[in-house]
Amino acid sequence: VIKGLTYLREKHKIMHRDVKPSNILVNSRGEIKLCDFGVSGQLIDSMANSFVGTRSYMSPERLQGTHYSVQSDIWSMGLSLVEMAIGRYPIPPPDSKELELMFGCPVEGDSPVTETSPRQRTPGRPVSSYGPDSRPPMAIFELLDYIVNEPPPKLPNGVFGSEFQDFVNKCLIKNPAERADLKQLMIHAFIKRSEAEEVDFAGWLCSTIGLNQPSTPTHAAGV
Protein backbone atom coordinates (compact mmCIF):
# COMPACT_ATOMS: atom_id res chain seq x y z
CA VAL A 1 0.00 0.00 0.00
CA ILE A 2 2.83 2.37 0.85
CA LYS A 3 4.50 1.64 -2.48
CA GLY A 4 1.21 2.23 -4.28
CA LEU A 5 0.68 5.59 -2.61
CA THR A 6 4.29 6.53 -3.36
CA TYR A 7 3.83 5.59 -7.02
CA LEU A 8 0.70 7.74 -7.30
CA ARG A 9 2.47 10.69 -5.73
CA GLU A 10 5.83 10.50 -7.50
CA LYS A 11 4.74 9.32 -10.95
CA HIS A 12 1.34 10.96 -11.30
CA LYS A 13 1.38 13.76 -8.69
CA ILE A 14 -1.94 12.63 -7.23
CA MET A 15 -3.37 11.40 -3.96
CA HIS A 16 -5.62 8.38 -3.65
CA ARG A 17 -8.11 10.15 -1.31
CA ASP A 18 -10.13 7.01 -0.56
CA VAL A 19 -7.86 4.50 1.18
CA LYS A 20 -9.97 2.00 3.16
CA PRO A 21 -10.14 -1.79 3.55
CA SER A 22 -12.60 -2.26 0.66
CA ASN A 23 -10.10 -0.56 -1.66
CA ILE A 24 -7.18 -2.82 -0.65
CA LEU A 25 -7.28 -6.11 -2.55
CA VAL A 26 -5.15 -9.26 -2.47
CA ASN A 27 -4.99 -11.99 -5.10
CA SER A 28 -4.17 -15.69 -4.84
CA ARG A 29 -0.48 -14.93 -5.41
CA GLY A 30 -0.38 -12.82 -2.27
CA GLU A 31 -0.06 -9.57 -4.22
CA ILE A 32 -1.60 -6.49 -2.66
CA LYS A 33 -3.46 -4.14 -4.99
CA LEU A 34 -4.58 -0.62 -4.16
CA CYS A 35 -7.74 0.22 -6.06
CA ASP A 36 -10.70 2.60 -6.01
CA PHE A 37 -14.28 1.36 -6.10
CA GLY A 38 -15.69 4.87 -5.85
CA VAL A 39 -17.32 4.68 -9.27
CA SER A 40 -18.25 1.01 -9.15
CA GLY A 41 -21.96 0.27 -9.35
CA GLN A 42 -21.36 -3.05 -7.61
CA LEU A 43 -20.86 -1.24 -4.31
CA ILE A 44 -23.55 1.38 -4.76
CA ASP A 45 -25.71 -0.04 -1.94
CA SER A 46 -22.93 -1.12 0.38
CA MET A 47 -21.71 0.45 3.58
CA ALA A 48 -18.31 0.95 1.96
CA ASN A 49 -19.77 3.39 -0.57
CA SER A 50 -22.18 5.20 1.73
CA PHE A 51 -21.81 8.71 3.17
CA VAL A 52 -20.50 7.46 6.49
CA GLY A 53 -18.53 4.60 4.94
CA THR A 54 -16.55 6.98 2.76
CA ARG A 55 -16.00 9.75 5.30
CA SER A 56 -15.26 7.52 8.26
CA TYR A 57 -11.75 6.89 6.90
CA MET A 58 -11.00 10.56 6.20
CA SER A 59 -8.33 12.30 8.23
CA PRO A 60 -9.25 14.97 10.79
CA GLU A 61 -7.90 17.73 8.54
CA ARG A 62 -10.10 16.63 5.64
CA LEU A 63 -13.19 16.49 7.83
CA GLN A 64 -12.41 19.98 9.09
CA GLY A 65 -12.22 21.28 5.53
CA THR A 66 -8.64 22.51 5.84
CA HIS A 67 -5.75 22.01 3.42
CA TYR A 68 -4.68 18.39 3.15
CA SER A 69 -1.97 16.40 1.38
CA VAL A 70 -0.86 12.79 0.95
CA GLN A 71 -0.57 12.76 4.75
CA SER A 72 -4.34 12.32 4.70
CA ASP A 73 -3.94 9.00 2.84
CA ILE A 74 -1.50 7.87 5.53
CA TRP A 75 -4.11 8.47 8.23
CA SER A 76 -6.62 6.42 6.22
CA MET A 77 -4.10 3.61 5.83
CA GLY A 78 -3.38 3.57 9.57
CA LEU A 79 -7.08 3.44 10.39
CA SER A 80 -7.55 0.62 7.89
CA LEU A 81 -4.69 -1.34 9.47
CA VAL A 82 -6.29 -1.11 12.91
CA GLU A 83 -9.62 -2.26 11.48
CA MET A 84 -8.08 -5.24 9.70
CA ALA A 85 -6.11 -6.14 12.84
CA ILE A 86 -9.02 -6.14 15.31
CA GLY A 87 -11.80 -7.12 12.92
CA ARG A 88 -14.05 -4.09 13.14
CA TYR A 89 -14.05 -0.36 12.47
CA PRO A 90 -12.08 0.97 15.45
CA ILE A 91 -14.14 4.05 16.36
CA PRO A 92 -15.21 4.19 19.12
CA PRO A 93 -12.43 1.99 20.49
CA PRO A 94 -13.31 -1.41 21.94
CA ASP A 95 -13.18 -1.75 25.70
CA SER A 96 -11.55 -4.64 27.56
CA LYS A 97 -14.71 -6.75 27.47
CA GLU A 98 -15.08 -6.47 23.70
CA LEU A 99 -11.37 -7.11 23.17
CA GLU A 100 -11.66 -10.31 25.19
CA LEU A 101 -14.48 -11.44 22.90
CA MET A 102 -12.34 -10.58 19.87
CA PHE A 103 -9.18 -12.40 20.89
CA GLY A 104 -10.46 -15.06 23.27
CA CYS A 105 -8.37 -13.93 26.21
CA PRO A 106 -8.14 -10.95 28.58
CA VAL A 107 -6.71 -7.92 26.76
CA GLU A 108 -5.90 -4.48 28.07
CA GLY A 109 -8.27 -1.97 26.53
CA ASP A 110 -9.27 1.65 26.91
CA SER A 111 -12.54 2.93 28.24
CA PRO A 112 -14.45 4.84 25.54
CA VAL A 113 -14.37 7.88 27.84
CA THR A 114 -11.08 8.84 29.46
CA GLU A 115 -10.17 11.54 31.95
CA THR A 116 -8.51 13.58 29.22
CA SER A 117 -11.46 13.28 26.85
CA PRO A 118 -13.72 16.32 26.43
CA ARG A 119 -16.65 14.01 25.73
CA GLN A 120 -19.22 14.07 28.53
CA ARG A 121 -21.09 10.89 27.65
CA THR A 122 -20.29 7.43 26.37
CA PRO A 123 -20.30 7.39 22.55
CA GLY A 124 -22.71 5.23 20.62
CA ARG A 125 -21.71 1.77 19.48
CA PRO A 126 -19.92 1.27 16.15
CA VAL A 127 -21.63 -0.09 13.07
CA SER A 128 -20.12 -3.51 13.80
CA SER A 129 -19.14 -4.79 17.23
CA TYR A 130 -18.55 -8.04 19.09
CA GLY A 131 -21.33 -9.35 21.29
CA PRO A 132 -24.39 -7.53 22.67
CA ASP A 133 -24.08 -3.76 23.00
CA SER A 134 -26.78 -1.73 24.72
CA ARG A 135 -25.55 1.59 23.38
CA PRO A 136 -27.54 3.19 20.56
CA PRO A 137 -25.85 3.23 17.14
CA MET A 138 -23.33 6.00 16.64
CA ALA A 139 -24.85 8.78 14.54
CA ILE A 140 -22.98 9.89 11.43
CA PHE A 141 -22.03 13.31 12.71
CA GLU A 142 -21.22 11.91 16.14
CA LEU A 143 -18.72 9.63 14.42
CA LEU A 144 -17.16 12.45 12.40
CA ASP A 145 -16.97 14.64 15.51
CA TYR A 146 -15.26 11.77 17.33
CA ILE A 147 -12.58 11.49 14.62
CA VAL A 148 -11.83 15.21 14.81
CA ASN A 149 -11.97 15.78 18.57
CA GLU A 150 -11.14 12.50 20.32
CA PRO A 151 -7.83 10.61 20.64
CA PRO A 152 -6.97 8.46 17.61
CA PRO A 153 -7.45 4.68 17.67
CA LYS A 154 -4.58 2.43 18.66
CA LEU A 155 -3.84 -1.27 18.77
CA PRO A 156 -4.41 -3.07 22.09
CA ASN A 157 -1.36 -3.91 24.17
CA GLY A 158 -0.22 -7.50 24.51
CA VAL A 159 -1.69 -8.71 21.23
CA PHE A 160 0.44 -7.18 18.48
CA GLY A 161 4.16 -6.53 18.20
CA SER A 162 5.62 -3.23 19.40
CA GLU A 163 6.93 -2.40 15.91
CA PHE A 164 3.48 -2.80 14.39
CA GLN A 165 1.95 -0.70 17.17
CA ASP A 166 4.52 2.04 16.63
CA PHE A 167 3.96 1.98 12.86
CA VAL A 168 0.21 2.44 13.31
CA ASN A 169 0.68 5.15 15.93
CA LYS A 170 2.88 7.14 13.55
CA CYS A 171 0.17 6.91 10.87
CA LEU A 172 -2.55 8.10 13.24
CA ILE A 173 -1.03 11.29 14.63
CA LYS A 174 -3.80 13.87 14.36
CA ASN A 175 -1.53 16.76 13.38
CA PRO A 176 -0.59 16.06 9.72
CA ALA A 177 2.68 17.97 10.13
CA GLU A 178 3.75 15.52 12.84
CA ARG A 179 2.35 12.41 11.14
CA ALA A 180 4.91 10.12 9.47
CA ASP A 181 5.32 10.59 5.73
CA LEU A 182 5.73 7.92 3.06
CA LYS A 183 9.53 8.03 3.11
CA GLN A 184 9.66 7.63 6.89
CA LEU A 185 7.23 4.73 6.79
CA MET A 186 9.23 2.92 4.10
CA ILE A 187 12.26 2.76 6.39
CA HIS A 188 10.30 1.99 9.56
CA ALA A 189 11.49 -1.06 11.49
CA PHE A 190 8.17 -2.84 10.95
CA ILE A 191 8.50 -2.55 7.16
CA LYS A 192 12.18 -3.49 7.13
CA ARG A 193 11.54 -6.60 9.22
CA SER A 194 8.61 -7.58 7.02
CA GLU A 195 10.72 -7.25 3.89
CA ALA A 196 13.41 -9.48 5.36
CA GLU A 197 11.08 -12.25 6.52
CA GLU A 198 10.05 -15.15 4.31
CA VAL A 199 6.38 -15.83 4.97
CA ASP A 200 4.13 -17.80 2.64
CA PHE A 201 1.35 -15.24 2.67
CA ALA A 202 -0.13 -16.60 -0.56
CA GLY A 203 -0.29 -20.11 0.86
CA TRP A 204 -1.94 -18.92 4.06
CA LEU A 205 -4.44 -16.85 2.11
CA CYS A 206 -5.41 -19.66 -0.24
CA SER A 207 -5.81 -22.20 2.57
CA THR A 208 -7.87 -19.76 4.62
CA ILE A 209 -10.43 -18.96 1.92
CA GLY A 210 -10.22 -22.25 0.04
CA LEU A 211 -8.47 -21.23 -3.17
CA ASN A 212 -6.09 -23.25 -5.30
CA GLN A 213 -2.62 -21.87 -4.83
CA PRO A 214 -0.72 -20.81 -7.99
CA SER A 215 2.45 -22.70 -8.83
CA THR A 216 4.61 -19.61 -8.23
CA PRO A 217 3.26 -17.93 -5.09
CA THR A 218 4.53 -14.56 -3.99
CA HIS A 219 6.24 -14.53 -0.60
CA ALA A 220 5.46 -11.57 1.60
CA ALA A 221 5.53 -10.92 5.31
CA GLY A 222 2.36 -10.76 7.34
CA VAL A 223 1.42 -8.61 10.30
Please identify every residue annotated as catalytic.
Answer: 18
Cβ burial of 118 (10 Å; 0-12, 13-18, 19+) is exposed
Which residues have a Cβ under 8 Å from the Cβ of 136 and sit 6 or more positions away? 124, 125
Nearest to 25 by CA among 40, 45, 44, 14: 40
Cα 20–Cα 93–Cα 180 angle in degrees, nearest 5: 55
Query: 52-57 contacts: CB < 8 A, separation 24 or more?
Result: 52/127, 52/140, 52/143, 53/20, 54/18, 54/20, 55/140, 55/144, 56/89, 56/91, 56/143, 56/144, 56/147, 57/18, 57/19, 57/20
CA 113 to each of CA 1, 82, 128, 156: distance values in angstroms, whole numbers, following the listed order:
32, 19, 19, 16
